[in-house]
């Protein structure tokens, strides 16, 4: 599933509420409908869409009743800055699916142990996020300097867009054509001209900034 599709799915408030509820525990459809105060038919439609998207999965308990739980550990990151708009999605498979209403009760000592482990991991994640934010700020600053330079060496907006795309990674002609929405034969003329000016170079059919 593409990141843009996931954003469309999460754009619905009821689907977000369903995921929030399932993040705490597996639920039957009737439970979800009751908690959301939404008709069963509407809830079923949301659940089917979430299942098709791979966000949740349906299982059957000992009484042959269907319940739903989160399928994967998924992280969606949207980055918007003056010089970039990026959507990245990362999925980490869950090794053991949660059971609905487990009858076995964890000992208090286990609860305390895992609670402390969670707090430690959350603290580590917070430190990583702070470092990540600093790196993002540095990238944004460097991108700004690059954009200033691009404005001085390019002849028109298309050349500038080509260089901006290549700032992030080398790309072949077809990938550039798709991303920029420029026909390949038009793009080829620009790439050839920019190569002659030694602004970009081609290596194994991929273009990068010299």
CATH of the domain at 194: 1.10.10.10
Q: Which two tokens stand for residue 23?
A: 């993040």
In 3D space, the residue among 176, 25, 146 whose CA is nearest the CA of residue 83 turns out to be 146
Is the whole model's pTM more than 0.85, yes or no? Answer: no
> Are residues 85 and 7 located together in one domain of the fold?
yes
For 107-138, what is each residue's pLDDT tens digit?
788 888 888 999 999 999 899 999 988 998 89
pLDDT of residue 44: 94
207, 200 Cβ separation under 8 angstroms: yes
Residue 8 and residue 98 share a domain? yes
Does residue 128 sit in the same domain as residue 160? Answer: no
Percent of the chain topping pLDDT 90:
48
Identify the pLDDT of residue 86.
76
Tally: H helices and E strands in the chain? 8, 8
Q: What is the mean pLDDT of residues 14-35?
A: 92
Residue that is last in its domain, among 120, 138, 153: 153
Question: According to the model, what pLDDT value does residue 205 have?
Answer: 84
Domain that holds residue 53: 3-104
Weakest mean pLDDT among 10-19, 23-32, 73-82? 73-82
User: How far apart, in whole angstroms, are the C-alpha atoms of residue 110 and residue 25?
Assistant: 19
CA 6 from chain centre, in angstroms, equals 8
Same domain for 100 and 14: yes
Comparing CA positions, the residue from 141, 137, 178, 136 lying closest to residue 161 is 178
Q: Are residues 161 and 183 in the same domain?
A: yes
Considering the domain architecture, whether residues 160 and 149 belong to the same structural domain is answered as no
The dihedral over CA atoms of 48, 53, 55, 59, expressed in degrees to the nearest 10, equals: 40
- With contact defined as beta carbons under 8 Å apart, do 72 and 94 qualify? yes
pLDDT band for position 92 (50/70/90)? Answer: low
Same-domain pairing of 20 and 100: yes
pLDDT in tens, 129-186: 999 889 988 988 898 899 899 989 988 899 999 999 898 889 999 999 998 989 999 9
**What is the bridge-based pairing of β-strands 206-209 and 200-203?**
antiparallel
| 75 plus 50 within the same structural domain | yes
Residue 100 pLDDT > 60: no
Q: For residue 24, what pLDDT is reported?
A: 85
What is the phi/psi pair of residue 88, to 5°?
-125, 140
Domain count, the chain: 3
Q: In whole angstroms, what is the distance from residue 188 CA to residue 198 CA?
A: 15
User: Are 13 and 54 part of one and the same domain?
Assistant: yes
pLDDT band per the 50, 70, 90 thresholds, residue 193: very high
Do 8 and 100 belong together in one domain?
Answer: yes
pLDDT at position 82 over 90: no
Residue in the block written with tokens 């959350």:
122
Same domain, 8 and 84: yes
The continuous run of DSSP H or E covering 195 comes out as helix 184-196
């Amino acid at each position: 599933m593409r990141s843009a599709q996931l954003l469309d799915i999460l754009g619905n408030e009821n689907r977000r509420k369903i995921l929030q509820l399932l993040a705490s525990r597996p639920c039957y459809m009737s439970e979800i409908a009751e908690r959301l105060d939404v008709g069963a038919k509407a809830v079923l439609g949301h659940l089917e869409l979430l299942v098709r998207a791979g966000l949740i999965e349906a299982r059957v308990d000992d009484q042959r009743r269907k319940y739903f739980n989160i399928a994967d550990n998924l992280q969606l990151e949207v980055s918007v800055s003056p010089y970039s708009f990026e959507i990245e999605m990362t999925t980490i498979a869950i090794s053991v699916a949660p059971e609905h209403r487990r009858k076995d009760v964890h000992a208090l000592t286990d609860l305390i142990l895992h609670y402390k482990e969670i707090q430690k991991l959350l603290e580590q994640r917070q430190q990583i996020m702070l470092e990540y934010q600093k790196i993002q700020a540095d990238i944004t600053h460097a991108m700004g300097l690059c954009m200033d330079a691009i404005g001085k060496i390019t002849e028109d907006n298309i050349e500038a867009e080509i260089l901006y795309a290549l700032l992030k990674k080398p790309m072949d002609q077809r990938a550039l054509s798709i991303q920029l929405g420029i026909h390949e034969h038009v793009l080829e003329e620009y790439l050839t001209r920019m190569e002659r000016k030694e602004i970009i170079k081609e290596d194994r059919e991929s273009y990068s900034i010299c």
